[in-house]
Amino acid sequence: MRCVAHILNLVVQDGIKKVYKSVEIIRWAVKWIRQSPSRIGKFTKFSKLVNPGTTKHLVRDVPTRWNSTYHMLNISQAYEKPFDRYDLEEYEFHSDIEKAGLSIPSPSDWQHVRHLCHFLKPFCDVTKRIFGTLYLTSNTCIEYIYSIGTLLDDAISDASFCDIALAMRVKFDKYFGDVEKMNLLLYFSLIIDPRNKVKYLVILLEDRYGKEKMDEKKKYIMDSMFELYNDYIRIHSPSTTSSTTESSNSSSILGKCHNPNATTPKPPLRNKLREKMKANIVESIGELEKYLKESVEEDSSMFNILDWWRVNSPRFPFLSLMAKDLFAIPVSTVASESVFSTSGRVFDPYRSSLTPKDC
């Protein structure tokens, strides 16, 4: 399973490159001001005089995390007038930015930043949802991915965002452009949500690929889903367990034989167990079809998908086992990675080393 958050980062970074000059100017200005408390104090003083309604603090970004760049730009664009005033009052700021080969943020730079923030707001919302650890994410991931594809399609027809959207579209299609390129478990998670089932899948596929290709994509997904359920039935069927135990017992008997080349007669129950296992597979396929034919559940804020499957697991024993595994899939590794990266912020080089006096 690819980390969806990392793919979104790659997609958005390609779009940011189209206005990279403006982003780099704002990034440098914020970094320069945040380098010392005295600079922050002077900038805060100018902000209260020029723009007293703004109370947010400037934040630096991590260039490899696009959402941190979004937050930096979104806060900075509210300080356009304080930045202009700071440039007039602080000569060192003006000279240092010229030495870096950049220029003072111009009105066109701020305009580019505002357009970019407006365009990236939905992407930021999706990223926050994907980061979640206290709720399910696998059953809604496909919907978020398709919504991003729709946003890019709409943006391509807009002259203000056309260049950015086209650059992002290339990377988006590389990972999410077709059903065959994606992990089908995400589609299975969508279907196994009783509020969606196949009806919602058909709506998404038709909106994304059109009526002509919708049936083909649907058949590919459903055939794969039935195939996966057959595997679950073979693994968890009681008949399979009995056959496995019987086979191991036969192997132990063979090990005790004096003649290893002697043929061992097949157990008389083997054929009956095989037929029973096949019957269980047919019955369980009917279980899946039964689930799909039932009406969808009403989507409300009080609906709890885990409670629904807990209550209905006796009706769908094999299906509930699949649902348990599908809903446990994390679509992003960012939450776990952030736990390990926290240590770098807690134990910095100064805090984790001793001075000669302390030795």
Over the chain (359 residues), the average pLDDT of each successive run of 10 is 87 87 90 88 85 82 81 90 82 85 88 89 87 86 92 89 91 92 94 94 92 92 94 81 47 41 48 52 70 92 93 94 94 70 52 56
Q: 90, 108, 128 — which closes off a domain? A: 128
Question: In 3-state terms, what secondary structure has residue 273?
Answer: helix
Q: Are residues 103 and 211 in the same domain?
A: no
What is the model's pLDDT at position 101? Answer: 87
Q: 128, 158, 186 — which closes off a domain? A: 128
What is the model's pLDDT at position 351? Answer: 52
Look at residues 34, 129, 140, 121 and name the one whose alpha carbon lies nearest to residue 71. 121
Angle in degrees, CA 150, 335, 152, rounded to 5: 10
What is the model's pLDDT at position 256? Answer: 41
Q: Are residues 90 and 10 in the same domain?
A: yes
Q: Are residues 77 and 207 in the same domain?
A: no
What is the model's pLDDT at position 239? Answer: 62
Asked if residue 48 belongs to a domain, the reply is yes
What is the model's pLDDT at position 129? Answer: 87
Q: 128, 147, 179 — which closes off a domain? A: 128
Q: Which domain holds residue 202?
A: 197-258+267-296+305-335
Asked if residue 66 belongs to a domain, the reply is yes
Total domains, the chain: 2
What is the model's pLDDT at position 333? Answer: 82
What is the model's pLDDT at position 55? Answer: 78
What is the model's pLDDT at position 272? Answer: 52
Asked if residue 157 belongs to a domain, the reply is no
Asked if residue 57 belongs to a domain, the reply is yes
Mutual angle of helices 66-76 and 20-33, in 10-degree steps? 70
What is the model's pLDDT at position 139? Answer: 92
User: Between the CA of residue 172 and those of 12, 14, 15, 81, what are the distances in Å?
Assistant: 9, 10, 11, 36
Give the separation between CA 164 and CA 152, rounded to whole angstroms.
9
Structure tokens at 176: 């999410």
Structure tokens at 122: 């939905």
